[in-house]
Structure 1
Amino acid sequence: MTTLSPTSLLLPTSTAGSLPKPSWLAEPEKIWSPWALEGDQLMDAKQDALRVSLQEQLHAGIDIVSDGEQTRQHFVTTFIEHLDGVDFKQRATVKIRDRYDASVPTVVGAVSRQKPVFVDDAKFLRAQTDQPIKWALPGPMTMIDTLYDSHYKSREKLAWEFAKILNDEARELEAAGVDIIQFDEPAFNVFFDDVNDWGVATLERAIEGLKCETAVHICYGYGIKANNDWKKTLGSEWRQYEQAFPKLQQSSIDIISLECQNSHVPMDLIELIRGKKVMIGAIDVATNTIETPEEVANTLRKALQFVDADKLYPSTNCGMAPLSRQVARGKLAALSAGAAIVRKELTA
């Protein structure tokens, strides 16, 4: 049982996703980093890393905490690894989010989930803290974008199957005490026709029947070279959100998470989701420069022109797995301090 609900505090802070892993668990500052241990030692190390990640969030003053994705190698593939119908040995090269080539597993049969994937980890996190907790799952469209499909041969059909599987997982996470379930959908910034034709609909299938708060996280990606190079091609204004926001504003999702710090996203696009809770990315994860609290506060002040204060959730742009632990700590502290500045202004 949490001591405060995610909405009882003005401007509650959170992270968008991953936090850096300690070197004794996996090679740091790298996504898809292999584990340094095996068997029971790996299980202990994952739980220890989760404890450390939680303590660093609490020490920094983060209000809505997470597992920091310490028990997974990657925000999408770790979930898929636990499903039937996907062969990780049969691989193909695909272009992920129309940006970079990657060797990915193949869908060879009907996809299904035989048992929960993250529920034990969520129960472990829930037992460590009374703070509100948020859990991230990959969204249906981003899952299909990380695979080669030789079975369904239809992006839409596969997305609907994943949506049902995600809904089963989400219901069990809710029962385990998770307060906010977030679906990561960076693919929403790329495949605009699919988003509006069936992407938002499959997301709504994934949250069907949930009573906890739900979020969709749509960013411009980790601070890795392929993503940074892509951003350089987007011009002086990044208006991708314009394509998905109207449909999301009409959806049943509670919170929409977007990237704002050091990005070229026009802040007034938030007007398109008026009425929704908005998780504002006020920390840039593509640089080692630690924001000042005032820089964070300034981003939040700009956002408050377009979203009511009781619906604003300060957060990071994306996950911080590729950053050093020292930089991530500094950024978390800056996020909390910046939110505190604006919170004080609002309640003065």
Structure 2
Amino acid sequence: MTGRQPSDSARRLLPTSTAGSLPKPAWLAEPEKLWSPWQLHGDALAEGKQDALRISVHEQEQAGIDILSDGEQTRQHFVTTFIEHLSGVDFENRETVRIRDRYDASVPTVVGSVGREKPVFVDDARFLRAQTDRPIKWALPGPMTMIDTLADRHYGSREKLAWEFAGILNEEAKELEAAGVDIIQFDEPSFNVFFDDVQDWGVAALERAAEGLRAETAVHICYGYGITANTDWKATLGAEWRQYEKTFPMIRESSIDIVSLECQHSHVPMDLIELIRGKKVMLGAIDVASTAVESADEVADVLRKALEFVEPELLIPSTNCGMAPLSREVAQGKLAALSAGADIVRRELAPRAG
């Protein structure tokens, strides 16, 4: 894809990664807060974003993370920052909508035909590529999650708008691939909520967004950031969280290469991973809804359980979701624990590999 030789990080067993966002420096944005406004403006903001991205890369490398991301340092939110660069969306004319049937939020409104007039994240991806020789991953919002983060006053159909977004995402993804991105991830937490839509058109729209890519593709399906609305919702789900049971069989039959899911301190039955046998599994072994830093042994225990249902060469230890609402100190500790836990299991697997 990029002409580079595979790095040691790319070749080794159980390469670690993150599911999404990492905390921003306090001088860039108010810490531990979603949709946090920027502290800088103009040229200073552009420079500050690049500085934060450099720091994020360094901190991931220091923690021993193998597949690096931008940590979403250049965007306020994993969905709306992409949307704000599109035509046909009015950010002044906002409405309050129910996000994933869980909490209310003030969101922009679709008032005309949506379109992508220029690349959104491609320059940032090139900058990330220049900072490291390790594999890099870039996250984009998935079509279904995009339509769930908007008010629509133009299309009148969730499905029609999702297909429009899928084509736009495909354009962006192809340019990200050309910029040197190794894995393109689509974030679809909505897949854990709108099961009929997932079956009727959600997976097909996701495949349209990933169509024609040579880079590996991933879909991230979790139970959300560690914010009150999400933790309160999870408290209502009972002793077993079986949402994945509805979507995994469809994703197994899809063209998507990697499935990112939540496992640490969750009530997801581990055997549900069997439903995506043959796919790469980006396994959430770090709880993003707690400030307690996992021990390496806790991480290793989750990975061992997962290995009953996924081959070692297909397992990518990761975080449950993004860590933007956490402090930088806690997030760094969790990344180090992820790396240390993966090291424990690698050593255990080494005699088998030999």
Q: TM-score range by the shorter chain?
A: over 0.9
Alignment partner of 1:182 is 2:185: yes
Alignment partner of 1:83 is 2:86: yes
> Of 106, 110, 116, which aligns to 1:107?
110
Q: How far apart are residue 122 of structure 1 and its match?
A: 0.2
Map 1:228-267 → 2, pairs under 5 A: 228-267=231-270
Q: Give the distance between the partners of 2:253 and 2:11, measured in 1 at CA.
A: 25
> Of 332, 342, 347, which aligns to 2:345?
342
Q: Aligned letter for 2:316?
A: Y
- Contact in 2 for aligned 1:238/1:264 (Cα 8 Å): yes
Aligned residues: 348
Alignment partner of 1:97 is 2:103: no
Q: Aligned letter for 2:142?
A: G
- Contact in 1 for aligned 2:10/2:67 (Cα 8 Å): no
- Contact in 1 for aligned 2:10/2:135 (Cα 8 Å): no
- Contact in 2 for aligned 1:2/1:131 (Cα 8 Å): no
SS for the counterpart of 1:290 is coil
> Of 217, 223, 226, which aligns to 1:223?
226
CA 121–161 in structure 1, closer or farther in 2 if over 3 Å, else same: same
SS for the counterpart of 1:268 is helix
Q: Give the distance between the partners of 2:7 and 2:162, measured in 1 at CA.
A: 35
Dislocated runs of 4+, deviation >6 Å:
none
Q: Give the distance between the partners of 1:198 and 1:6, measured in 2 at CA.
A: 36
CA 132–218 in structure 1, closer or farther in 2 if over 3 Å, else same: same
Alignment partner of 1:195 is 2:198: yes
Which whole-Å deviations, capped at 9, do the CAs of 1:52-110 have from their partners, x for residues lacking one?
00000000000000110000000000000000000001111110000001111100000
Q: Give the distance between the partners of 2:96 and 2:46, measured in 1 at CA.
A: 31
Cα RMSD (Å): 0.8
- TM-score, L = length of structure 2: 0.97
Q: Which residue of the partner structure matches residue 43 of structure 1?
A: 46
Q: Which residue of the partner structure matches residue 64 of structure 1?
A: 67
CA 330–89 in structure 1, closer or farther in 2 if over 3 Å, else same: same
Q: Give the distance between the partners of 1:5 and 1:153, measured in 2 at CA.
A: 49
SS for the counterpart of 1:103 is strand
Q: Aligned letter for 2:168?
A: I
Q: How far apart are residue 4 of structure 1 and its match?
A: 2.3
SS for the counterpart of 1:84 is strand
Q: How far apart are residue 5 of structure 1 and its match?
A: 8.0
SS for the counterpart of 1:20 is coil
Q: Give the distance between the partners of 2:297 and 2:8, measured in 1 at CA.
A: 27
Q: How far apart are residue 263 of structure 1 and its match?
A: 0.2
Alignment partner of 1:168 is 2:168: no
SS for the counterpart of 1:280 is strand
> Of 284, 293, 296, which aligns to 2:296?
293
Q: Which residue of the partner structure matches residue 12 of structure 1?
A: 15
Q: Give the distance between the partners of 1:296 and 1:281, measured in 2 at CA.
A: 9
SS for the counterpart of 2:11 is coil
Q: Give the distance between the partners of 1:301 and 1:341, measured in 2 at CA.
A: 10
Where structure 1 has 5 or more consecutive residues not aligned to the other structure, the ranges are: none
Q: How far apart are residue 2 of structure 1 and its match?
A: 5.4
Q: Aligned letter for 1:263?
A: S
Q: Aligned letter for 2:220?
A: H
Alignment partner of 1:26 is 2:29: yes
Q: Give the distance between the partners of 2:304 and 2:321, measured in 1 at CA.
A: 20
Where structure 2 has 5 or more consecutive residues not aligned to the other structure, the ranges are: none
